A and B are shown apart, each in its own frame.
Chain A
Amino acid sequence: MSDLSGLYQELILDHSKRRVGDGPLADPQASHHEVNPTCGDEITLGIRLDPSGSTVEAIGWEGDGCSISMASASALSELVVGADVEHAREVIDAFRAMLRSKGAGEPDEDLLGDAIAFHGVSKYVMRVKCAMLSWVALEACLNEAQATGGTAGASAPTPSEDA
């Protein structure tokens, strides 16, 4: 039988309840809305960089979705707040690579920390998009914050193509 605990690891169930970063960010420098069209799950994630534009100072998100998508946003917030922007991009790339691995390989624990708990999700192809939702939003926010040099603004909702 399929071992559900491989998917719903304690860390994931725990994050889905703790929801680190849950709540909208006042004055976000960039904000992005992501939708999973298959189930209607959505998240709006906002970020603020420090004055020099090199560090992620704060993240806030509001979302409605399954335990995987909510836990993923929580783990992301814990991992990325306080991180250097370039490091945050590396973490996003590593997370995406892990989710695309179909369960193969060993995720980089140094980079991903608690987020390696999502390695098991990669074996469930229909759930990968759930886990990626907030990360795609974060990537769009970083792009926007850096492109606009930190002026406030929010990008339009786009259905997530990333899986």
Chain B
Amino acid sequence: MTFETQTTSEPLDLASIRRDFPYLAQELNGYPLAYLDSGATAQRPTVVLDAEREYLEHANAAVHRGASTLVGAATTAFEEARESVARFVGAGEREIVWAENATDAINIVALGMADAAAGLGGAEADVFRLGPGDEIVVTEAEHHADLIPWQRLAAKTGATLRFVAVHDDGTWNIDDAASVIGPKTRLVAFAHVSNVTGHIAPVEDVVELAHRHGALVVLDACQSVPHRPTDFAALGVDFAAFSAHKMLGPNGIGVLYGREHLLDALPPARTGGSTITTVTMERAEFLPSPQRFEAGTQPVSQAVGLAEAVRYLERLDMRRVHEHEVELAGLLVDEVARIPGIRLVGSGPGIERGALASVDVPGVHAHDVGQFLDSRGIAVRVGHHCAQPLHRRLGLRATTRASAYVYTTADEVRRFASALAEVRPFFGATA
């Protein structure tokens, strides 16, 4: 993939954006904080915090329950939040299901499919019914959240889990996918943007290939929806998952996107109040999507906060957010590539990636690298980033990851690189 050439008129006003995030103004160990861990969790602008408080102070009520004016207002706020999120990702509002987070969203699909295989859901759930001889395909680069639910589904149904192999830099392409996806494939799951390599998946090509074989496509969109304009309908995926806390929104809420007719047919794995039409002592009839999946009390203030985060990102304009991050990703890769003896995971300079970089510092463990950066006021992620199989494939156990977002400055990226260059001398690494 090449850099996008179409640019919008004005870059982001970083100074103004940073004033919206009180968190960023603090010091860390005597230095101005350089928060380079947005890939793990993003910080929240004041408007998001205010929106949650405003809802709780004036509009809090039990949504979709009862008939009072207060319930009506709360339900309206809750459903308007759904509309905002739907608009943001090119979906219809019945195609947006609230989940706890992206992990939960993927589990809703995997557990629903296991229920289908167990005989629930009637004839319309046939598309989800896996058994021996069927294949589930994931890549070697997946986050555990997009791997373990499929391992469990395979174990429950007798289906086989197969893997798209990655190259030595952790990336993969459509040819790699095509060598695994075939007539037996019933489901393909992969990350839009890798949380370790920043690699951007060829989504449309995989969708075309998978659909040609009648397979469903599940997209882990955690590192794409917050960072680039994303239209699920245009991408053609069947399901997608993302988390609010990685896109300036609250914890405790995530989103499952699904094409309407699929969501209406997927058995709800978690059942209970608010999901039903008629209940007898023996059985229950379920509502269509999204209510069929939203059992029990819902995270309403979080939904309101997420909708405010979406509006904030829309005001910035996601095209400009993306351009900003393409620039930072380029700088990050260039700066890291200049440091002798540091191994950058993923593709090298000149190839677009998500605005993150995971590095291995030979002779120094990632925990120690992170500790050194921390002492310089630089917050990064260390460890396997919930991708042990990928690290193992790359011959690594843990890496150090810097990840950027709307509020990240070029200066922060340079501080990261310059501190990184000091790590090996500090620990006397010779390996």
Contact = CB atoms under 8 A, between A and B. Distances in A.
B364 to A, nearest CB: 8
Contacts of B377: 1
B30 A40 contact: no
Contacts of B384: 39-40
- For B371, B391, B397, the residue with the greatest tally of chain A CB atoms inside 10 Å of its CB is B371
Interface string A64-94: 1111100000000000000000000000000
Interface residues of A, number: 19
- For A8, A40, A64, A65, the residue with the greatest tally of chain B CB atoms inside 10 Å of its CB is A40
A124 B391 CA distance: 26
A40 B367 contact: no
A130 B383 CA distance: 12
A41 interface: yes
B50 interface: no
Given A1-B31, A41-B397, A66-B365, A13 B427 contact: yes
Given A65-B365, A67-B365, A130-B367, A40 B428 contact: no
Contacts of A1: 29-31, 375, 377
A39 B383 contact: yes
B368 A67 contact: yes
A39 B382 contact: yes
Contacts of B375: 1-2, 4
A130 B426 CA distance: 20
A40 B397 contact: yes
Interface in B337-392: 364-368, 371-372, 374-375, 377, 382-384, 388, 391
B398 interface: yes
Contacts of A7: 371
Chain B interface category by residue count: 20 to 34
Contact of B383 (A8, A40, A127): A40
B367 A66 contact: yes
A39 B375 CA distance: 19
Contacts of B372: 4
Contacts of B367: 39, 41, 65-68, 127, 130
Interface in B381-431: 382-384, 388, 391, 397-398, 426-428
A52 interface: no
Contact of A40 (B29, B364, B398, B427): B398
Contact of A67 (B383, B388, B398, B427): B427
A2 B364 CA distance: 20
Contact of B397 (A64, A67, A68): A64
Nearest to B27: A1
- For A13, A67, A124, the residue with the greatest tally of chain B CB atoms inside 10 Å of its CB is A67
Nearest to A3: B375
A66 B366 contact: yes
Contacts of B365: 41, 65-67
A66 B383 contact: no
Interface string A29-47: 0000000001111000000
A72 B391 CA distance: 25
A39 B397 CA distance: 8
- For A2, A7, A65, the residue with the greatest tally of chain B CB atoms inside 10 Å of its CB is A2
A40 B391 contact: yes
A67 to B, nearest CB: 5
Contacts of A38: 383
A66 B365 CA distance: 5
Nearest to B369: A66
Interface in B92-116: none
14 contacts: A13-B428, A38-B383, A39-B367, A40-B383, A41-B365, A41-B397, A41-B398, A65-B365, A66-B365, A67-B367, A68-B367, A68-B368, A127-B367, A130-B367
